[in-house]
Amino acid sequence: MSEEARMPQAVLVAAFEGWNDACQAATNVVRYLVGRYESREIRHISCDGYYDYQVARPMICHAAGYANLIWPQTTFYQIVLDDTHQLFAQIAPEPNYRWRSYCSESLAIAEELDVHQIVTLGSMFSDCPHTRPLPLSVSDGTCQCEGDKEYNGPVGIPTVLDVAAADQGFAHASMWVSIPQYLGSDECAAGTMRLLEALGKRIGFDFDMGDLPAKSDHWKAQASVLVRCNDQLADYVNHLEHDYDLKQQAAAQASLGAPQAEQLVKEAEDFLRNMDQ
C-alpha cells in the first residue's frame, strides 16, 4: 500500500474546469479543500496529447526576471481532513482529446493510491431561483438519491470518468448542482456549499465551511439587487419560485401517499404548460 493511502476507504474527488463547471462551483470545492485543510500535490498527468492549446492556452508567468510557461495539466492532491479522514482530489481543465485514455490514466492513479470510491463533481446553468436551495442531483449508477429525474443528453468528462469508474468496479457517485442561468458567470459560493454538504454526507464528514456561508449570502444579496432592478427578470424569478414551491409541496404530499398529491402535480403541470404558451 502506498504511503499516501494508509487511511482506510480512500475517496477520490474529481472536478474539471470548463463546460461542466458553471460559475466554478465544482472546481472551487477542490480549491476550497486544498486551501482549508492540510494538503499536498502527489501526482500529475501531462498535458501532452490531451489539450488543444488554442482552447486551453498555456499561461506565461514572470518571476525573478524569468519568463515561465505554465501548461494546462491534471493535478492530484492528498487532503488530510483529520486523524481518521482523508481525501484525494483531482482537478484539471476538461481535456479536448482522447477521453478514454485520459480516464484510464486517471483510474490507474486511483488504483495506485488504493482509492475505494470516486466522486465526480459538476455544476450547470439551469432554470432555478436563487431564493431557494439550489437543485442538487446525486446518483451512484443504481439510484437517483436526490433530484427528480435521470439526465439524458450530452455529457462531459465527469460523466465519462464516472462511467469508466463503474466499469472498473470502483464505488462511485456523481454530484451536480444547478446554478441560476440568469446570474451570469460570477463565482457561486452557494453552489460550492451545496456540493460540499453532499460530499460530506457521502463520506460521513462535516466540513468546516469557513467563509463560504458569508460569501453565499453576499451572492444571494447581489442577485436580489439585480432582480429588483429589472421588472421582467423579477417576474421570471417569481415564476421559478412558484414552480419550485409547487414541486416541493407535491413531493412532500406524494411521500405521504395523500390524495392531494395528484392535485398539486396537476397544478404544477398546468403552470408549466401556461408558461410555454
Instruction: State how far the Cα of 174 lies from the Cα of 40, in Å rounded to an integer.
Output: 24
Q: Spell out a b/e string for 105-140, using b for 16 or more CB atoms within 10 Å of the CB, else e.
A: ebbebbeebbbebbbbbbbbeeebbbeeebbbbbbb
Helix (H) or strand (E) holding 70: strand 66-70
How does strand 74-80 pair with strand 86-93?
Answer: antiparallel
CA 109 to chain centre: 21
3-state secondary structure of 96: coil
Cell numbers 421570471 correspond to what residue? 236
C-alpha cell belonging to residue 9: 476507504
114 backbone φψ class: left, alpha, beta (φ>0; ψ -120 to 50): left
C-alpha 228/C-alpha 237 separation (Å) is 10
Q: d(Cα 245, Cα 192) in Å, to the nearest integer?
A: 23
Count CB neighbours of 98 within 10 A.
13
Q: Is the CB of residue 179 less than 8 Å from the CB of residue 186?
A: no
Q: What percent of the chain has pLDDT over 70?
A: 85
Q: pLDDT (tens digit, 0 to 9) for every residue of the chain, 277 residues total?
A: 454 445 557 999 999 999 999 999 999 999 999 999 999 999 999 888 999 988 888 889 888 888 888 888 999 999 999 988 899 999 999 999 999 999 999 999 999 999 999 999 999 999 999 999 999 999 986 554 555 567 788 899 999 999 999 999 999 999 999 999 999 888 999 999 999 999 999 999 999 999 999 999 999 999 999 999 999 999 999 999 999 998 888 877 776 665 565 666 666 666 666 665 5
Q: Which of 167, 183, 195, 190 is nearest to 14 (CA)?
A: 195
Local structure of residue 156 (DSSP, 8 states): -
pLDDT of residue 1: 46
For the chain, first and last CA: distance in Å? 61
Distance CA 137, CA 162 (A): 14
